[in-house]
Amino acid sequence: MFFQKKLGQYFLHDKNIAQKIVNSISFKKTIVEIGPGMGMLTQYLLLKSKNVFLIEIDKKYVFFLKKKFSIIKNNIFNLNFLNWNPQEYFLSSFTLIGNFPYNISSQILFKIIKYREYIPECIGMFQKEVAERITSKKKKKSYGKLSVIMQTFYKIEYLFTVNNNVFLPKPRVKSAVVKMLKKKLNFKIKESIFFNIVKTAFLYRRKKLFNSLKILSFSTEFYKLPILNKRVEQLSVNDFILLTKYASKIKRD
């Protein structure tokens, strides 16, 4: 078996862990798996749904998977997930699952946010540090822009930690499985303003928000908000949503 480090290939070989991951799925109608590799998760996914799609960037594993799982060979694609668009495959709603490559985990998360209307649920294996970041709450060191962005749109649960000895090759770090369920938001926010506020605020963590957000040039009235006397780690996810609403309503000077 040949592994490509540049593709972040660390394959799970523990059947019990694989079954545990698959059993955490709530929505089973259509499932899309990223980076199936040798098909450790796939074999159990096919027991849950007959409508399983596989996205694999490595050609040699695509060939292997089509032979091993011939029943879904037309649903196996040699693609980079970061360039994949579910609209092109007529998928309207699906569970996303995978042992996600560590080197592009943040990019995968932003891709999930981009196509969240299609992804009501995601079960992902991440590097433990990343899993802790996206589930982190305010006032914790691991709390950052990924925490706020992901938790705004998804309810996120840290399911369990996975030791590195269940992978081939063996990574240097531990992993963790996270479950994300899309929230039914009863409000609308201007996303461009929301993302600007979150990213800018965490770019200047040591400054008070009044100073760090000055670069965005909102109105004088906006900068009079008492909450801006706090630092970014003191704000909850809901605080960022409220800031976005204020910034959207108050006209710029």
- For residue range 124-177, what is the model confidence (pLDDT) as tens digits? 999 999 999 999 999 999 999 999 999 999 999 999 999 988 887 787 889 999
Predicted confidence at residue 173, as pLDDT, reads 86
pLDDT tens digits, 19-54: 999 999 999 899 999 999 899 999 999 999 999 999
Predicted confidence at residue 185, as pLDDT, reads 80
Residues 6+ apart with CB under 8 A from 248: 189, 190, 193
What whole-number distance in Å separates Cα of residue 36 and Cα of residue 57? 9
Q: Please give the span between the terminal C-alpha atoms of the chain, in angstroms, as a whole number.
A: 62
Contact criterion met (CB below 8 Å) for 134 and 202:
no
Assign residue 140 a region (left: φ > 0; alpha: ψ between -120 and 50; beta: otherwise). Answer: beta
Find the Cα–Cα–Cα–Cα dihedral 15, 20, 23, 25, rounded to 10°.
Answer: -110
Q: Is the pLDDT of residue 7 over 80?
A: no
Mark out the alpha helices in 154-217 (DSSP H runs). 191-203, 209-212
pLDDT band for 10, please (50, 70, 90 cuts): confident
Coil, strand or helix at 102: helix
Mean pLDDT, range 74-100, rounded to an integer: 93
Q: What are phi and psi of 35, to 5 degrees?
A: 60, 55
Q: What are phi and psi of 32, to 5 degrees?
A: -115, 125
**β-strands 95-99, 121-127: how paired?**
parallel
Average model confidence (pLDDT) across the chain: 91
In the chain, what percentage of residues exceed pLDDT 70?
95
Contact criterion met (CB below 8 Å) for 253 and 219:
yes
Cis before 171? omega within 30: no
Q: What is the pTM of this model?
A: 0.91
pLDDT band for 122, please (50, 70, 90 cuts): very high
Coil, strand or helix at 65: helix
The helix (run of H) or strand (run of E) holding residue 98 is strand 95-99
